[in-house]
Structure formats: C-alpha cells, structure tokens
C-alpha cells in the first residue's frame, strides 16, 4: 500500500474542507428604547446597539446588514476594533419597524415585537450567523407607559427568498442569514381600562332592561326607555372607538357592544309582544312573558359577557 499516496489524499481532502468552510459571525443586539407604538399605521420605533464578531478580515458589516420589514432605518456610531479572536464591529440603529398589531382582545392583548437583522450581501453558502444570546438584552432603564415587558428572546435563523437576485451560482432561490429578537409585551392596567370602556354600555343595557318593571299598559314609556338605552349604548361605542386602536379586526369591545345591541333589540320586540297580549286581554300571559323575558335576557347577557372575558380577567 502506498502510504505516501494516502497521506497526500488526506491532506487534499483537509484542504478542500477548509477551503469550502463558510465564514461565521456572532451577532447580538442590546435594546435601549421602544416608542411611537402606532397601531393605526402598523409600526413602532426601536433603538438598539448591534455588534458582530468575526474572523475574516475581508468581511465588512458596516453596510451589509439591514433591518427587514422596516419603513426607515438609520445606522450610526459605527466602530470597528481588532480583538484577540478577530474583529469586533458595533453600531447603533434607529428603525421604524412594521408591526402587525393584534388588538382583538384589547385591552387584554399581548404583542410580540420582532426585530430581524439580516445579512444583505452574503448568503448562507458563504456566511452563517450565530446569535450572541448571552449578551443580547433589553436595557434595565427601558420602561413603557402602557406595556409590561414579559420576556426577550434572540435567535439565529435563515430567511429564504424565492429568487436568486440574478446570482448565477444559485438556482431557484436564495437563503440569507439573520438574527431575530422577539420582545413579548403585555398591556398594563388592563382590568381598569376594561372597566372604563364597558361601564357605559352595561349601564345602557340595565336601563333598557328596566322596561320590564313598568306596567304593560304604559307602552310609550317602555319603548322610550328601551330606545334611550339603545342611544346610550351607541354613544358609548363612539366614545370607545376614540380610545380603542383603529383596526379592521372585530375586537372584544366590539363583541360586547354587539351583544348589547342584540339584547336591547330583543327587549323592544318583547315589549311589543307583551303589550299586544295585554291589550287583547291576555294579561296573565303578558305578565308571564314579562318575567320570562326579564330573567332570560339578564342571564343570557351575563353568560355571553362572561364567556367573552372569563379567560382574560
């Protein structure tokens, strides 16, 4: 056996393996500020420091990293230092990031803010990102007026695109390395906010419900009181819409108002039915319908609202 041949072959495979090995970069983020939570425009502003530690001196991350899904991003305070293990680059970022706000459970909603820092030049065939989990954090001085920061997670991943951007070495698609930071938020003072929002609509329902306590022969007063409750509920909805974030989604508060409108409509219908029975001489039946309608409306309304909020409060 030719040992020299085997040794040369092993050296060749080693050289090929080293030559084909992709570069790696450790990327981290330090969140210093989050503000301008604009639910109507679907965005927020984030300020953070980011750094990249790498060994290949030919790489330059000053211009090749981008914050994806952002309206506008500005990098500043760029700094590059030689360290024992390679290079340490850091820069500050201010970015207006697009956010898909889910306010269906407002004011008990929870949000996940996502900051994705992606490589714009080198794909995963030549470069890999690893997340600096140990040093990526949120500043202790960051406090949000309406939100509580539950947790913060950072991870590395790969973003796949269904285009090669014209790269002749690729076929069909391209994949770029990135590091993603997720910030989990819970709205603060949810219960107090909820009580303020629904007090008016619940009072409107109770006003309308009181018509069953008025004598059946006084139909005009009954109808007037029910309509008054309806107008109070509608007025409360307009007030709430000035507070609840504008959205095309059906929110929890919307469902409560819809259930109230339905209940008041049922009350008006039953008042007419009861009044007709009374005027046609069926007084016993009218009183029976009156009691059944009162308690059925009250219990069904309470049940619906408990179903909507029981798991949230």
Give the domain ranges of the chain: 20-188, 191-309
Block means of pLDDT (10 residues each) for the chain, 313 residues, are 44 41 88 91 94 89 90 92 88 95 89 94 89 94 91 92 76 88 93 90 90 75 81 84 75 91 89 80 80 91 91 71
Maximum pairwise Cα distance, the chain? 118
CA pair distance 51, 139, nearest whole angstrom: 15
Q: Which one is the CATH code of 20-188: 3.40.50.300, 1.20.1530.20, 2.70.170.10, 1.10.3720.10?
A: 2.70.170.10
The predicted structure's pLDDT at residue 21 = 64
What was the pLDDT predicted at 137? 95
- Whether the bond between 107 and the residue before it is cis, its omega within 30 degrees of 0, is yes
pTM: 0.79
Question: What is the per-residue pLDDT for 313?
Answer: 65
What confidence score (pLDDT) does residue 44 get?
95
CATH superfamily of 191-309: Neurotransmitter-gated ion-channel transmembrane domain (1.20.58.390)
**Which pLDDT score, from 0 to 100, does residue 244 have?**
74
């Amino acid at each position: 056996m030719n040992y020299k041949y085997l040794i040369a072959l092993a050296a060749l495979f080693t050289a090929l393996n080293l030559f084909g090995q992709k570069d790696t970069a450790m990327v981290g983020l330090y969140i210093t500020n989050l503000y301008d939570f604009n639910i109507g425009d679907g965005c927020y502003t984030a300020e953070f420091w980011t750094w990249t530690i790498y060994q290949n001196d030919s790489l330059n991350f000053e211009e090749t990293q981008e914050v994806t899904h952002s309206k506008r991003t500005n990098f500043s305070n760029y700094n590059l230092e030689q360290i024992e293990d390679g290079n340490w680059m850091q820069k500050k970022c201010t970015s207006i990031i697009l956010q898909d706000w889910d306010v269906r459970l407002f004011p008990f909603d929870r949000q996940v803010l996502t900051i994705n820092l992606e490589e714009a030049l080198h794909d995963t065939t030549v470069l890999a990102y690893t997340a600096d989990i140990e040093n990526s954090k949120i500043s202790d001085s960051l406090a949000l007026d309406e939100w509580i920061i539950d947790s913060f997670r950072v991870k590395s991943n790969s973003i796949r695109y269904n285009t090669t951007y014209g790269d002749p070495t690729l076929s069909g698609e391209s994949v770029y390395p990135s590091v993603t930071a997720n910030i989990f938020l819970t709205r603060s003072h949810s219960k107090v906010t909820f009580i303020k929002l629904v007090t008016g609509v619940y009072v409107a329902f109770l006003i309308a419900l009181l018509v069953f306590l008025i004598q059946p022969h006084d139909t005009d007063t009954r109808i007037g009181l029910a309509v008054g409750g309806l107008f109070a509920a509608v007025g409360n909805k307009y007030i709430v819409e000035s507070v609840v974030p504008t959205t095309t989604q059906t929110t929890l508060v919307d469902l409560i108002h819809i259930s109230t409108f339905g209940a008041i409509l049922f009350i008006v219908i039953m008042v007419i039915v009861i009044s007709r029975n009374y005027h046609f001489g069926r007084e016993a039946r009218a009183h029976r319908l009156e009691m059944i309608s009162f308690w059925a409306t009250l219990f069904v309304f309470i049940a619906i609202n408990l179903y909507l909020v029981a798991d949230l409060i």
